[in-house]
Copies of this chain bind each other. A is one copy, B any other.
Amino acid sequence: MLSEETYQNLIENDLSFLNVSDESLVNKILQHTSIVSLPKDTLIFDEGSTTNNLAIIISGKVRVYKLAESGREITIYRINKGESCILTISSILSNLTYPARAVVEEDVEALVVPSDVFKELVNKDESWRNFTFGLMNTRFANVITVVEEIAFRRMDERILEFLFDKFNSSGNELNITHQEIAYELGTYREVVSRILKDFEKSGMVELARNKINILNITEVKKKLKN
């Protein structure tokens, strides 16, 4: 159950596709959806599983990744505010099992839509369809980019790019462990440590436990241009 007020708030707050024109669909949404809170580290779905609900993220962040037997991981993409999990959509629309794993990275509030309601909305409402197609298309492009990265680019470049992106979103002192970077990029912690050490030796960064300081951002940019 969703209150009329919450519904309106969501529509104004980055979930504009919720705004369907058909009155009976609005009622379906109000009656059959609800809001849940999922704390950090909650396993949203695992490889091989299926589901009966679609979660649309209102706040927080989810990481979708592949896990190898060796213990290595690689991040495939993240689900942010206003998005939902296309793998769940795959599962609902095509009866496929998840090919990856999703875990809450930052505490999540989500709107939960039962799969049959979602199916009906996608079939009857154009804005839901556009939302769904748009999400699938951008994700697809994302994953192809991941393929390109791991197939063709060197690890030092990839680490540098990762640092640079983080730098842009959270200032030049990053609080992150080498292991986290390794999980992000699909490599081993040792590899990350070694490469970061090289960066430190060349004066680009400064390292401490749980911390990476970017000392020379223009140098980083220059290296990425090549």
Contacts and interface: CB of A to CB of B under 8 A. Distances in A.
Interface centre among A76, A137, A145, A147 (most CB of B within 10 A): A147
5 contacts: A66-B151, A74-B151, A96-B138, A96-B141, A143-B143
B148 A147 contact: no
A137 B139 CA distance: 11
Contacts of A123: 126, 129
A90 interface: yes
A151 B94 contact: no
Interface in A91-148: 93-94, 96, 99-100, 122-123, 126, 129-130, 133-134, 136-141, 143-148
Interface of A: 66, 68-70, 72, 74, 76, 86-87, 89-90, 93-94, 96, 99-100, 122-123, 126, 129-130, 133-134, 136-141, 143-148, 150-152, 186
B70 A144 contact: no
Chain A interface secondary structure, helix, strand, loop or mixed?
Answer: helix
B186 A152 contact: yes
A7 B152 CA distance: 43
A151 B148 CA distance: 11
Contacts of A86: 140
Closest 7 A/B residue pairs (Cβ)? A90-B137, A68-B152, A151-B186, A94-B137, A99-B144, A93-B133, A74-B151
A151 B149 CA distance: 10
A162 B134 CA distance: 33
A126 B120 CA distance: 11
